[in-house]
């Protein structure tokens, strides 16, 4: 069966997450149902990352096996037709080798977290960013985040229901970008690693928000990391500010 990589964008609000679940809508199920409109015998798909309920996708990557060959453009167009009206879109499709795997072939995952500081309620960005009422100290957050770069035991920043075999991960980058808005400031956190623990990014962002708000000194992030204790973590940020922004492979399957 020919194999295709799919780059997928989605709004996470209506879904219980990426992964198929009983009696709850998921992005995986939505894409698989569209695929089976084209190929009733198509098996399930596999993705680079399993995003949680409410988390968005800018460039999730999955692969599927089909019973016949498709022109990549026609495949993406046909899938998008059958995906309507769900807030899911196939941005690109590409043929890949039979042993190529969206998850196991990946070298890195990139996440974006959007946080907006302003007093008036969000309107156009509601459900797409975490809102806090006061401006944050971005330099203090950068100082706190610097303690997390590198290979560490991230038990403190790991959900208690995380199924990963080890809490040791390597965080390759954590960058904070600021953008001035008419009624506030947007903070964009760009995080990159080969893989992440369950709730790791949201736990890190929630902790750094406490630093930016002045409730934590930057060095407390290092102490929290060293504690290897979930109780030492700051509040977990809400899912609707988080986006799976991209996946890196040895060679870009989409050219």
Q: What is the pLDDT of residues 36-92, one digit of tens each?
A: 999 999 999 999 999 999 999 999 999 999 999 999 999 999 999 999 999 999 999
Does residue 52 carry a catalytic annotation? Answer: yes
Beta-strand relationship, 3-10 and 56-65: antiparallel
Quote the pTM value.
0.96
CA contacts within 13 A on the Cβ side of 156: 22
Architecture in CATH for domain 108-246: 2-Layer Sandwich (3.30)
Q: Delimit the domains of the chain by residue range.
A: 3-105, 108-246
Going residue by residue through the chain, which has 255 residues, state the pLDDT in tens, using 9 for 90 and above: 899 999 999 999 999 999 999 889 999 999 999 999 999 999 999 999 999 999 999 999 999 999 999 999 999 999 999 999 999 999 999 999 999 999 999 999 999 999 999 999 999 999 999 999 999 999 999 999 999 999 999 999 999 999 899 999 999 999 999 999 988 999 999 999 999 999 999 999 999 999 999 999 999 999 999 999 999 999 999 999 999 999 999 999 998
In the chain, which ranges are continuous DSSP H helix? 27-38, 72-83, 138-146, 200-212, 219-227
Mapping DSSP to helix (H, G, I), strand (E, B) and coil, where does residue 83 land? helix
Tokens standing for 152? 């560490």
The active-site residue out of 52, 65, 137, 172 is 52
**Beta partners for residue 131, in sequence order:** 116
Enumerate residues 6+ apart whose C-beta is below 8 A from 108.
Answer: 172, 192, 193, 194, 247, 248
Architecture in CATH for domain 3-105: 2-Layer Sandwich (3.30)
């Amino acid at each position: 069966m020919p194999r295709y990589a799919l780059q997928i964008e989605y709004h996470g609000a209506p879904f219980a997450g990426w992964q198929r679940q009983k009696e709850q809508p998921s992005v995986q199920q939505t894409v698989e149902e569209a695929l089976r409109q084209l190929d009733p015998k198509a098996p399930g798909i596999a993705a680079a990352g399993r995003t949680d309920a409410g988390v968005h996708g800018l460039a999730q990557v999955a692969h599927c096996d089909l019973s016949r060959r498709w022109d990549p453009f026609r495949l993406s167009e046909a899938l998008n037709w059958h995906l309507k009206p769900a807030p899911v879109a196939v941005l690109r499709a590409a043929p890949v080798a039979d042993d190529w795997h969206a998850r196991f072939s990946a070298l890195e995952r990139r996440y974006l977290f959007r946080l907006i500081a302003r007093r008036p309620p969000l309107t156009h960005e509601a459900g797409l960013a975490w809102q806090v009422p006061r401006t944050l100290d971005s330099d203090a957050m950068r100082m706190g985040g610097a303690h997390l770069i590198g290979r560490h035991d991230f038990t403190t920043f790991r959900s208690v229901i995380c199924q990963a075999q080890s809490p040791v991960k390597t965080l390759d980058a954590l960058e904070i970008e600021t953008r001035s808005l008419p009624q506030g400031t947007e903070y964009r956190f760009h995080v990159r690693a080969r893989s992440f623990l369950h709730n790791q990014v949201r736990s890190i962002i929630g902790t750094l928000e406490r630093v930016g708000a002045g409730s934590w000194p930057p060095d407390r992030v290092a102490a929290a990391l060293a504690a290897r204790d979930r109780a030492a973590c700051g509040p977990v940020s809400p899912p609707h500010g988080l986006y799976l922004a991209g996946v890196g492979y040895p060679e870009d399957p989409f050219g």
